Structure 1
Amino acid sequence: MAERDVNPMLKTALELGPVLGFFVAYLWLKDHVFTIGGTEYEGFIVVTAGFIPVLLASMGVLWYLTGHLSRMQIMTAVLVVVFGGLSVWLNDERFFKMKPTLIYFLFGGLLAFGLARGQSYLRTVMEGLMPLEQEGWMILTKRVMLFFFALGIANELVWRFLSTETWVYFKTFGLSAALFAFFMLQGKLFARYSIDEDAS
């Protein structure tokens, strides 16, 4: 099914809004403890519990407007529900903090599996955005695979050895900045292997 056009600002708000909302809510409630059903929950757990339905609602609206959700968005939502739900159910923030690690290792592993078969699964997802020659896709896929594994390791180090607040800043801004910087640094590869669609 073809993706329907939607206002870019609205689409961006639906994609980033829940994450920024989580960040703001955490800063607001991080020092609070809530007693619910006789059990004490720290602010992080309460914010996580609120983040899950907000993310699902945002993705539902995005799907309604565009008629499309990427595999990455769907998988991310599944992992948020599973590991966010475990954090809330078991009152243990570690499960939610593990989620980015699993996401990056999962997608890095899928790219590695494709490369072992001589294929670029990244091309399947992004070809419409960046028309590249096959060799360019293979090089980019290898780089993205290694980058995803590096992000997964970085997330593990941050949540295990630094404070929860540091992890929230890292999750909200650090990972996004790293992704942006990574693709900006691929400019030479894009220039060398890009396909002139008009010429072709």
Structure 2
Amino acid sequence: MVSNETKGTAAQDSGSQQLLKFVVELGPLVVFFLVNARAGIFWGTGFFIAATTASLIASRMLFGHVPIMPLISGAVVLIFGGLTLYLQDELFIKLKPTIVNSLFAAVLFGGLAFKKSLLKYLFGDVFALTEEGWRKLTFRWACFFVCLALLNEGAWRFLSTDQWVTFKVFAIMPITMVFAISQVGLLQRHALAPPTDE
């Protein structure tokens, strides 16, 4: 039988790991913001690419794998960041969030069209939900990614470059966290009951 102390230690380790993952994934955005503020969008993009690469390597070394969503996002950063620097056109790095979020939305909606809740394959080891729960959660996140893509389209078209970078770093992350927290009710309603020990 597992003691309460052992459970508490495991929960603490899990919380520490989640915090470390958050720091590793947030790091490139902070680097992007700071370098852009001091040296402009092109230097910011260059450091963003380097920091994203370092973040992916750090994830592999610290956690043994690279989560699929940061991996896809990182690949798009490398491609569109590279185009930004090569062509000296900031439009490409501004389009990156639109493309990434649209891609995530398309994949999730596509999975639902084939009756596959793809979030289950990504987070099935974190949450235990009913099939209806996974379907609803996947649909909501797909819709949210569409909203993020539309937000970015409005932001880069109507804000200055510095304002867009600030919006990307300091608005998108809180919006995403608020949305994630708002799904707690759904997670609770559709949680599978843990198996009982006989």
* Structure-1-length-normalised TM-score: 0.85
After superposing the two structures, state which structure 1 stretch, 139-148 or 11-20, moved more. 11-20
Q: Name the SS for the 1:97 alignment partner.
A: helix
Query: Offset of 1:14 from its aligned partner?
Result: 2.0
Query: Offset of 1:108 from its aligned partner?
Result: 0.2
CA contact (8 A) 1:84 1:96 kept: yes
Name the CA distance, whole Å, in 2 between partners of 1:199 and 1:189.
Answer: 23
Change (3 A) 1:140 1:168: same
Matches within 5 A, 1:48-87: 48-87=45-84
Query: Offset of 1:28 from its aligned partner?
Result: 1.9
Query: Unaligned stretches of 5+ in structure 2?
Result: 1-13
Matches within 5 A, 1:31-50: 43-50=40-47
Which amino acid letter does the alignment assign opposite residue 185 of structure 1?
A: S
CA contact (8 A) 2:36 2:42 kept: no
Name the CA distance, whole Å, in 2 between partners of 1:52 and 1:177.
Answer: 22
Q: Name the SS for the 1:196 alignment partner.
A: coil
Name the CA distance, whole Å, in 1 between partners of 2:110 and 2:78.
Answer: 26
Aligned mate of 2:22, from 6, 12, 26: 12
Q: Name the SS for the 2:155 alignment partner.
A: helix
Per-residue CA shift, 1:8-55, capped at 9, x if unaligned? 3543332211211111112222xxxxxxxxxxxxx2111111221221
Aligned residues: 183
What does residue 188 of structure 2 align with? 191
CA contact (8 A) 2:35 2:43 kept: no
What does residue 149 of structure 1 align with? 146
**1:95 corresponds to 2:96:** no
Identity %: 36
What does residue 25 of structure 1 align with? 35
Q: Name the SS for the 1:143 alignment partner.
A: helix
Name the CA distance, whole Å, in 1 between partners of 2:142 and 2:15.
Answer: 30
**1:120 corresponds to 2:117:** yes
Name the CA distance, whole Å, in 2 between partners of 1:186 and 1:65.
Answer: 28
Change (3 A) 1:11 1:89: same
Which amino acid letter does the alignment assign opposite residue 152 of structure 2?
A: N
Name the CA distance, whole Å, in 2 between partners of 1:128 and 1:56.
Answer: 26
Name the CA distance, whole Å, in 2 between partners of 1:192 and 1:6.
Answer: 23
CA contact (8 A) 2:27 2:51 kept: no
Name the CA distance, whole Å, in 1 between partners of 2:94 and 2:102.
Answer: 14
The CA RMSD over aligned residues, in Å, is: 1.8
Q: Name the SS for the 1:72 alignment partner.
A: helix
Name the CA distance, whole Å, in 1 between partners of 2:51 and 2:183.
Answer: 34
Higher fraction of helix: 2
Change (3 A) 1:25 1:68: same
After superposing the two structures, state which structure 1 stretch, 92-101 or 64-73, moved more. 64-73
